[in-house]
Chain A
Amino acid sequence: MRRFFALIFVIFIISDIHVHAQQIHIDIEASGFRKMKVAMPTYAGPGDMAGSVWAMCARDLQLSGIFDLISPQSYVNPGPLGEVQQGSLKDFSLIGSDYVIAATVSKQDTTGIFKVQMVDVSTGQVIESATYTSGEQTMYMAVHAFMDHVLRNKFGLDPIFSSKIACIKKDKTAKQLHVIWCDGTGGNTIRGGGSLVLSPAWSRDGKKIAFVSYWKNNPDLYLLDLATNNVKQLSAQKGINTSPAFDASGGRIGLTLSIDGSPKIYIMNLDGSGRTKLTTGWATDTSPSFSINGKSMAYCSSRSGNPQIFIMDLATKNVQRLTYEGKYNSEPTFSPRGDLVAFSYRAKNEKFYIATIKPDGSNFRVLPGSGLGDESPSFSPDGRLIAFAGGDGNIHITDLMGTMSVPVTSGGGFSEPAWSPLMK
Chain B
Amino acid sequence: MKRIIRIAYTIIILCAILFVMGCAKKTLEPVTPEVSKPHPPGQTGMPAEQPGMKMDTSEASQGAGAASGKSTIEKARTAFEKTDIYFEFDSFELTPEARKALADKAAFLNSHPKIKTRIEGHCDERGTAAYNLALGERRAKAAQDYLVFLGIGSERVSTVSYGEEKPVDPGHNETAWAKNRRAHFDILGE
Contacts and interface: CB of A to CB of B under 8 A. Distances in A.
Q: How large is the interface on B (under 10, 10 to 19, 20 to 34, 35 or more residues)?
A: 10 to 19
B117 interface: no
Contact of B90 (A218, A306, A331): A306
Given A199-B129, A199-B130, A416-B129, A284 B135 contact: yes
A198 B127 contact: no
Given A196-B165, A306-B90, A284 B138 contact: yes
A286 B130 contact: yes
A240 B165 contact: no
A375 B134 contact: no
B104 interface: no
A248 B107 CA distance: 51
A22 to B, nearest CB: 46
Contact of A258 (B90, B128, B129, B141): B141
Contacts of B161: 219, 239-240
A221 to B, nearest CB: 12
A282 B167 CA distance: 27
A199 B128 CA distance: 11
Contacts of B128: 287, 330-331, 344, 352, 375-376
Contacts of B127: 307, 328, 330, 346
A331 B130 contact: yes
Contact of A240 (B90, B126, B133, B158): B133
A307 B165 contact: no
A237 B159 CA distance: 12
B178 interface: no
Given A240-B161, A258-B141, A306-B90, A375 B135 contact: no
Interface in A322-357: 328, 330-331, 344, 346, 350, 352
Interface in B124-162: 126-131, 133-135, 137-138, 141, 158-161
B165 A243 contact: no
Given A175-B165, A196-B165, A240 B129 contact: no
A123 interface: no
A350 B172 CA distance: 13
Interface residues of A, number: 36
Nearest to A199: B130
A262 interface: yes
A199 B133 CA distance: 11
Interface in B90-105: 90
Interface in A189-244: 196, 198-199, 212, 217-219, 238-240, 242-243
B69 to A, nearest CB: 33
B133 A242 contact: yes
A306 B127 CA distance: 11
A307 B131 contact: yes
Count chain A CB atoms within 10 A of each CB in B135, B137, B141, B163 and give the residue with the most: B137
A262 B138 contact: yes
Nearest to A344: B128
Given A198-B165, A306-B90, A258 B130 contact: no
A243 B130 CA distance: 6
A352 B133 CA distance: 18
A306 B161 CA distance: 19
B131 A287 contact: yes
A263 B138 contact: yes
Contacts of A198: 129, 133, 165
A256 interface: yes
Contact of A330 (B130, B137, B138, B159): B130
B160 A217 contact: yes
B127 to A, nearest CB: 7
A106 B163 CA distance: 50
Given A239-B159, A261-B141, A286-B133, 7 more contacts: A196-B165, A199-B130, A239-B137, A240-B134, A284-B135, A307-B90, A331-B131
